[in-house]
Structure formats: structure tokens, C-alpha cells
């Protein structure tokens, strides 16, 4: 079997709500999802999914063109080598991750096995937590969203926030009350999405901890701030979780060396091989891992990780024109038996979609706000200062 080419399709996820975090909220209720399809000389195709743009696939595709797709890890390292001079960060890493997913899909299809079984998983169930990207929702909408997650068996929840302490506490309590349907002591996580500086993070987290019991706080500081994350970790009771925006094993090294993280995360869009390798280096230090983002594609890998803790589940639905051989129930993801990764595309439906604005609005959430990390006090204590600064721009 030889790789002969690829095509890229862009579909959408219909969330039925605006989604986002402290950095910003989506325009409308749909966001783009990209699918890469690898073709072979035997007519079998492999599929990879990515929430990130695949504009840089051309840069690394020559590394796999004409190769046997079953040589997955060797081809993964060959793609990294192709990006050696300019580096494999950003969209290059997204391209490598999508191709890597498609390679694993092809390998499992060639073996006639579901990917989770090929990777050595013993159970098809992947435990998860509810994470609705709910920053733009009202309290009532947040309640209803997490009630739907609770109906699907979830007893763990993550809330986005980081600007207004009173809002954060109130919304955490709403999620806590809903999740008590399934657990007397539900796990609560809080995600600041890199919006704080060090002392601000400690003060904000301590105020939250005085009101609710936090399991972990996610990305309190910038992703590379190993010393700062270690300081936060020593200063609060909650664990520190980070890693979803790191693009390569080398970026985890300073965090692990500084003892700066309790829960090691990785982005679901970055591929299966990256996920497995992050799990291994974390396991060597007795640390758990928790996938973030497009976890439906890394769920198969999670079944083979001895240190998998829980996977983020952002929605109960599936992307438009995409059928995944998995179910969300009992508070997690239940994988099916179809050979490969279990991804089927309705390309006619996808090609007929009208583009959605999604993340394209200038205010984010993929754009870092001007005052992120530059607030001396929580915004609920100094709204006039924030308004004055914005008015002067």
C-alpha cells in the first residue's frame, strides 16, 4: 500500500450555542472543522480531523508521499524532520497531527481492527468530563447545557472564566449543583485560558477556593511560564493543568523539570503519536494525562494510556457530515468496532455547506486580548479602568 495524495474538506460543528472563553466568543453557533483524507494506490483512504487550519499540509506531505502508511511512527518523525529548519510549531504541527491521524486510520483499516484495539486498548470506554465552552452563556443557559451533560451520565465539569470572581464562583456552583445528580462530590475544574499573570492568578484562585472545592485550575498563566506555573502550584490547593497548546515534546521539558504541572494535557488535534508520547513522558513522572479539544479523535489512544485520567467532552453532538463510530454515554466516550478510527464523511453534504463566521471575529477567542495578564485587580473591582483603557484605543 502506498500513499498517493490527499484532499482537504472543511465542515462545521453546530453547537446550538455560542462557544468561547475569557478571550472571546464565537460569531454564531457554528465553527469550522477540517478533515484531511489520505488516498492510497489500493483505494483505501485514511481520515484525520483538526480544529485548526490545515493550510500547511503541503509543507510536510512530501515526507509521506509514496510511502507505506503503515509505517506510522517512522513517518511521523520524518514529517518532523521535514520541518527541521523552520520548526514544527503552529499550523505545521496541526498538519502533522492530521496526517498522523489519517496514517493510524489506514493502519487499523489494513489490519481490519478498530484503532483502539490496534493500539492495545483493553476497554472501549473512555471516561470524560463536561466542558461546554460556555463563557458566552447566561446562567440559565449554562444550567440547561450541563443538565444535558448530566443526563448523559457526567459527574465532572469544567467552567471557563477568569475576569470576574463573583461570576466565576456563581457559575461553578451552578455546574456543581447540576452534577450532584450523579455524584455527591462532583469534580470541578476551572479554565482561565492563559489570561492571568502570576500574582493575579494566585489571588483569583484563592478567592474561588474559599467558596468551592477546585480539582484543577487550567492554564492560569502563559503556556511556557514554567517558573510561574510552579509558583502557582505551590500557592493554591487546586492542581495545575496545562499543555493543550504545546506543539512538541520539547515544550513539556521545562514544565516537568520545574515540577509545574499536576495534570498533563495535550490537544486532540495534534494526532495519535503525539498523544501517546506525551502520555509516556508524563507516566515516567507518575503524572496523569487529560486530552483537551477534539478528544473524539484521540479517544482510541486514551484506551491504551495507563495514566489517562479523563478526557474533555465539549458537546454531545457530532460535526455536520461526519459520523463517528462512538457514543457519548455514562459520563464518557464509548468506542465502536468499525475498522480504523471509525470516521465516515458525507462529502456531498460537507461541500454544500455555507461557510460560518465561527472564530473569525477580531475579538477572539483565538485572539489574545490587549489587557490579558495586565490586570492589577479582578475586573469586577475596577470596571471603570477597563472601560477607560478600551475607549482610548
- Written in H, E and C, the secondary structure of the chain is CCEEEEEEEEEEEECCCCCEECCEECECCEEEEEEEEEEECCCCCEEEEECCCCCCHHHHHHHCCCCCCCCHHHHHHHHHHHCCCCCCCCHHHHHHHHHHHHHHHHHHHHHCCEHHHHCCCCCCEEEEEECCCECCCCHHHHHHHHHHHHHCCCCEEEEECCCCHHHHHHHHHHHHHHHCCCCCCCEEEEECCCCCCHHHHHHHHHHHHCCCCCCEEECCCCCCCHHHHHHHHHHCCCEEEECCCCCCHHHCHHHHHCCCCCEEEEEHHHCHHHHHHHHHHHHCCCCCEEEECCCCCCHHHHCCCCCECCEEECCCCCCCCEEECEEEECCEEEECCCCECCEEECHHHHHCCCCCCECCCCCCCCCCCCCCCCCCCCHHHCHHHHHHHHHCC
Q: What does the pLDDT read at residue 184?
A: 96
Which CATH architecture group holds 117-339?
A: Alpha-Beta Barrel (3.20)
The mean pLDDT of 284-309, rounded to a whole number, is 96
Q: What does the pLDDT read at residue 392?
A: 40
Mean pLDDT taken over the chain: 93
Give the residue extent of every domain in the chain: 3-116, 117-339
Single pTM value for the model = 0.93
The percent of residues above 90 in pLDDT, for the chain, comes to 87
Q: What does the pLDDT read at residue 380?
A: 59
Which CATH architecture group holds 3-116?
A: 2-Layer Sandwich (3.30)
Amino acid at each position: 500500500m502506498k500513499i498517493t495524495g490527499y484532499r482537504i474538506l472543511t465542515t462545521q460543528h453546530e453547537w446550538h450555542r455560542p462557544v468561547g472563553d475569557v478571550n472571546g466568543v464565537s460569531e454564531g453557533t457554528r465553527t469550522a472543522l477540517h478533515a484531511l483524507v489520505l488516498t492510497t494506490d489500493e483505494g483505501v483512504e485514511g481520515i484525520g480531523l483538526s480544529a485548526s487550519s490545515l493550510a500547511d499540509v503541503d509543507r510536510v506531505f512530501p515526507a509521506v508521499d509514496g510511502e507505506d502508511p503503515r509505517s506510522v511512527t517512522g513517518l511521523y518523525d520524518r514529517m518532523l524532520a521535514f520541518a527541521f529548519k523552520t520548526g514544527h510549531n503552529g499550523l505545521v504541527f496541526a498538519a502533522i497531527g492530521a496526517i498522523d491521524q489519517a496514517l493510524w486510520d489506514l493502519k487499523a483499516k489494513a489490519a481490519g481492527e478498530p484503532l483502539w484495539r490496534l493500539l492495545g486498548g483493553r476497554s472501549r470506554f473512555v471516561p470524560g468530563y463536561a466542558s461546554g465552552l460556555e463563557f458566552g452563556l447566561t446562567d440559565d443557559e449554562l444550567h440547561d447545557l450541563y443538565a444535558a451533560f448530566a443526563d448523559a451520565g457526567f459527574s465532572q465539569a469544567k467552567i471557563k472564566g477568569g475576569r470576574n470572581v463573583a461570576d466565576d464562583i456563581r457559575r461553578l456552583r451552578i455546574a456543581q449543583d447540576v452534577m450532584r445528580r450523579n455524584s455527591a462530590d462532583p469534580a470541578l475544574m476551572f479554565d482561565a485560558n492563559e489570561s492571568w499573570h502570576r500574582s493575579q492568578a494566585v489571588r483569583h484562585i484563592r478567592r474561588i477556593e474559599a467558596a468551592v472545592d477546585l480539582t484543577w485550575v487550567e492554564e492560569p498563566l502563559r503556556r511556557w511560564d514554567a517558573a510561574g506555573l510552579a509558583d502557582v502550584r505551590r500557592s493554591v490547593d487546586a492542581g495545575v493543568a496545562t499543555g493543550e497548546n504545546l506543539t512538541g515534546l520539547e515544550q513539556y521539558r521545562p514544565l516537568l523539570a520545574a515540577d509545574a504541572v499536576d495534570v498533563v494535557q495535550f490537544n486532540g488535534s495534534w494526532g495519535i503519536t503525539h498523544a501517546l508520547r506525551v502520555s509516556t513522558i508524563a507516566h515516567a513522572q507518575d503524572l496523569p494525562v487529560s486530552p483537551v479539544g477534539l478528544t473524539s479523535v484521540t479517544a482510541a489512544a486514551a484506551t491504551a494510556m495507563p495514566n489517562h485520567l479523563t478526557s474533555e467532552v465539549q458537546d454531545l453532538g457530532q460535526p455536520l457530515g461526519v459520523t463517528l463510530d462512538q457514543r457519548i454515554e455514562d459520563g464518557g466516550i464509548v468506542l465502536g468496532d468499525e475498522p480504523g478510527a471509525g470516521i465516515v464523511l458525507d462529502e456531498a453534504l460537507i461541500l454544500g455547506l455555507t461557510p460560518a463566521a465561527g472564530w473569525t471575529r477580531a475579538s477572539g477567542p483565538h485572539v489574545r486580548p490587549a489587557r490579558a495578564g495586565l490586570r492589577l485587580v479582578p475586573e469586577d473591582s475596577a470596571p471603570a479602568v477597563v472601560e477607560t483603557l478600551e475607549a482610548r484605543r
